[in-house]
Amino acid sequence: MKHVDTSVDAAGKSACATLVLLVFCQLAVGGAPVITELQPRGAERGHPFTLTIMGRDLPSDARIFSTLPASFTLVKADAPAMPGRSIEFLVEPKSDVPPGVYPVRIESPKGISNVLLFTIGTFPEVTEEESRPYARPNLNDSIETAEPIQSSPVTVNGTLRGPERDVFRVSGKAGERRVFEVEARRCGSAIDPVLRILDGGGKQLAISDDAPGAGLDARIDFTFPREGNYYVEVHDARFSKQTQNFYRLKMGSYAYADGIFPLGGQRGEATEVTFFGANLKTSVKTTVDLSKVAPESRLTTVALPDSPVLPVTFAVSDLPELIGPIEGALPIPSVMNGRLAKPGQIDRYKIPVEPEEALLFELQARELGTSLLEGIITVYDASGKKLDSAGDKPLPEDVFAVQGSSRTSNDPFLNFKVPKDVHEITVTVEDLAERGGPLYGYRLSTRKEAEDFRVAVAEPYVNIPAGGTAILNVVADRRGYDGPIQLTIPDLPKGIQIDGGLIPREHVVNNNRSFNREGILTLTAAPGVELSSRQLVIWGEGKLSDGATIRRRAQTRGMVVGVAGATAQGVVDRQRPVSAPWLNFDLPAAISEPPPATLEVKQTGLKQMEEGGRYEFTYAWNLKTGSPPKDVDVEIVGARDIRITDMKQSEKGGTFIVNTTKATDPARYDLYISGMLKTDSGEEMIVSRPIAFEVTGGGK
């Protein structure tokens, strides 16, 4: 037998737990469709095209879910010799489809698939020869073998197969200006593109890695110095091998923006925004209608009018919005939209306060992808004495770093309690590296809030096995609230049961803080239950120190695409999994096929010892065929200073002991077990419903 060593500190394993549980959830669903590739990855607006979807378990009666305004007609399913590998649809988009990125998901009686993204553009589309089916690799990896591109404007759909370069030959006239742009991360690719322009001798004339307004994607605004042939090279920044390895190279003469201001607006209101950049002759103003943004959604998108460039992320809040600079005191509550216009600039805001008053300051900038600010929030009293700050301190894990184009830290927040005899404070916003300019915008929200938290679902969707159990991982971002958080799903359909969902409290013992930021909940479907594809809403609830209830709606990532080469600790933006929270999904859910087995765990005894407690458990397999696996894992969510011992296997189950110590925090925890079961179609992870595990004594 083996077990998870739950004595490991929660903070130390939090970086990998999300990915592990995500894999568990996906492995646990046999027969549900999985999309691995779309061909093509984009199309020209107004032009019908054939979409080939490749993956596993793709049924011939599959339906497509997409927000793309188009009709989808099934053309061809797989050949009988290789069923479920691919399926083709005729897609007929409406002629007025806005350029942008749209989700594609398969729905079937066996469950729903993951999401991949499809892009609609405005230029004619061609496919790189090397990327065509059955093409030889490395066809255009040098100037000598460069693939010619005869027309402009055009979008070239290409792929990077590991450590290679794709080179394209283009011709230009002296003084002609052309934009070259790579769409990759914004479209759901794991490629971190680098774009170069070379002359015939291989001399580099221009290079772009991360372009303003394009996130980790690249863009070059290039003027040809003389008439002749030039070479456009695309490669991955780390020459890494990625599963989602596509890119879209756009060439043409068009308008684009480097940035946008403000970075967000108030829900339900119309907000005027300004696009700016060297490519624009003048700044472009447009109005963003936020009246249709769903409640609790924190993001939407906005596009530069009359441009083929992809939309950018735009923040949404429920607080009154201000645009700096302002005269007088900063009102509470509010969101201040400001910008550090020059290097070294520090923005200051005065706030009248009362002694012992609790405030929460939150900065939004880098997380939106439209600002380069690595922000610091600082609070001073009326005499200029520094009272507190955020953004300039080491993180709990020592991974803080400021880099030119990536980061390990998140935007800072500050829980602040006004000291005695203080009636006015000054809050400042600055950049950690004393940078500034048009791209250093921010949103500073201020609320009278002593305790708060956010919750986010790690899995972008869930298939619940009929008669079985699916597991979900939810991560908490604590913002002053240290108490337990209970996860709930109100209004569950009949026949669906929720279990677990407790994120234990955080506390300090011997000057060491416990870090409890993760919880699991499970969804169990009764045999024969029916659930049409729908969205589930997960809430996190906690009790504040004054007895009031705080309730926050869980955010989701929309989709998850892994990036090969990422590390569990110290990971920066370019190595994080690619997600799409701007899709504003809750939790898409469906019923899938029955599992090959179920797993049950029970507590059978408790013996209180001088140094802690001895808790006895049994577990049992209920298998349709075959024999149980030799190994099972035991997980107690958030518990510290425990050991799991005496694991013994019987014919279709086993027993184990959980030992606590005096240092184990007396609380309720969720305990569940899991095991990898071998089946005819591979391996499936089977999980039990969690049970409440009560530590009743011996803790501090």
DSSP notation for 185-239: GGGT----EEEEEE-TT--EEEEESS-TTSTTSEEEEEE-SSSEEEEEEEEETT-
How far apart CA 350 and CA 353 sit, in angstroms, is: 10
* pLDDT score of 596 more than 50: yes
Single out the residue of 259, 98, 119 nearest to residue 188, CA to CA.
119
- Cross-strand pairs, 681: none
CB 111 within 8 A of CB 33: yes
Integer Cα distance of 323 and 261 in angstroms? 9
pLDDT score recorded for residue 186: 97
In this structure, of 14-23, 539-548, 656-665, the range with the lowest mean pLDDT score is: 14-23
Q: How far apart are CA 659 and CA 229, in angstroms?
A: 73
The CATH architecture that domain 595-694 belongs to is Sandwich (2.60)
pLDDT of residue 572: 66
Measuring CA to CA, how many Å separate 629 from each of 25, 99, 207, 676, 683? 18, 50, 54, 7, 11
Who contacts 314 (Cβ-Cβ below 8 Å, separation ≥6)?
260, 263, 264, 265, 273, 288, 299, 300, 301, 302, 368, 370
Nearest of 375, 513, 540, 366 to residue 453 by alpha carbon: 540
How far apart (Å, rounded) are the C-alpha atoms in residues 429 and 345? 9
Mean pLDDT of 541-549: 93
Pick from 245, 239, 137, 154: nearest CA to 191:
245
Collect all residues with Cβ–Cβ distance below 8 Å to 687 and sequence separation of at least 6. Answer: 24, 28, 469, 470, 471, 522, 599, 672, 673, 674
pLDDT at residue 628, as a whole number: 85
333 prior amide bond cis, ω within 30: yes
Give the number of other CB atoms < 10 A from CB of residue 419.
Answer: 14
Section 478-504 average pLDDT? 94
Find out whether 522 and 470 touch, Cβ atoms under 8 Å. yes
Whether the CB-CB separation of 18 and 518 falls below 8 Å is answered with: yes
pLDDT higher than threshold 90 for residue 609: no
When the pLDDT of each residue in the chain is averaged and rounded to a whole number, the result is: 89
- Proportion of the chain above pLDDT 90, given as a percent: 75
Question: How confident is the model over 407-423, as a mean pLDDT?
Answer: 88
In this prediction, residue 393 carries a pLDDT of 74
What was the pLDDT predicted at 8?
30
Whether 444 shows a pLDDT value over 90: the answer reads yes
d(C-alpha 584, C-alpha 580), whole Å: 8
pLDDT at residue number 409: 64
Cα gap 675→628, rounded to integer Å? 9
pLDDT given at position 499? 96
User: Nearest to residue 596, comparing CAs of 462, 691, 467?
Assistant: 467
Q: Is the pLDDT of residue 382 over 50?
A: yes
Quick check: 466 and 527 in contact, CB under 8 A? yes
Residue 394: predicted pLDDT: 63
Q: Are 159 and 203 in contact (CB under 8 A)?
A: no
How much is the average pLDDT of 543-551? 92
In the chain, CATH 2.60.120.380 sits at 136-252, 319-449
Q: Is the peptide bond before 396 cis (omega within 30 degrees of 0)?
A: no
Identity of the residue numbered 305: P
Greater pLDDT, 95 or 600: 600
Residues 77-86 pLDDT 10s: 766 656 789 9
**Looking at the domain covering 136-252, what would its CATH class be?**
mainly beta
Give ranges for CATH 2.60.40.10 in the chain. 34-121
Q: What percentage of the chain reaches a pLDDT higher than 70?
A: 91
β-bridge mates for residue 54, sequence order: 37, 86
Residue 392 pLDDT: 85
Strand segments (E) across 94-187: 100-108, 111-112, 116-121, 125-127, 147-148, 154-159, 165-172, 177-183
- Spell out a b/e string for 312-324, using b for 16 or more CB atoms within 10 Å of the CB, else e: bbbbbbebebbee
Q: Tens digit of pLDDT for each residue in 21-71?
A: 333 344 435 589 999 999 999 999 999 999 999 999 998 888 999 999 999
Local structure of 573: helix, strand or coil: helix
Total number of residues shown for the chain? 700
The correct answer on CATH 2.40.50 for the domain covering 453-592 is no
| Residue in the block written with tokens 């425990």 | 642
Residue 272, pLDDT above cutoff 90 = yes
Q: Are 299 and 582 in contact (CB under 8 A)?
A: yes
Radius of gyration of the chain (CA): 27
Lowest mean pLDDT among 113-122, 338-347, 377-386, 679-688: 679-688
Strand order in the sheet with 218-223: 125-127, 154-159, 246-252, 177-183, 218-223
Predicted local confidence at residue 579, as pLDDT: 94
With a cut of 60, say whether residue 5 has pLDDT above it: no
Residue 20 has pLDDT above 50, yes or no: no
* CATH code for the domain defined by 34-121: 2.60.40.10
**Residues 117-137: what's their mean pLDDT?**
94
CATH number of 319-449: 2.60.120.380
- What's the N-to-C CA distance of the chain in angstroms? 32
pLDDT at 451 over 80: yes
Of 88-102, 131-145, 384-398, 428-442, the least confident: 384-398
Predicted local distance difference test score (pLDDT) of residue 423:
97
Segment 179-201 mean pLDDT: 97
Quote the DSSP letter at residue 262. S
> How far lies 44's CA from each of 40, 47, 98, 524, in Å?
11, 6, 11, 43
- pLDDT value for 255: 95
- What is the spatial distance between Cα 568 and Cα 324, in angstroms, rounded to a whole number? 39
Average pLDDT value for residue range 100-109: 95
Token pair in block for residue 527 = 């045999």
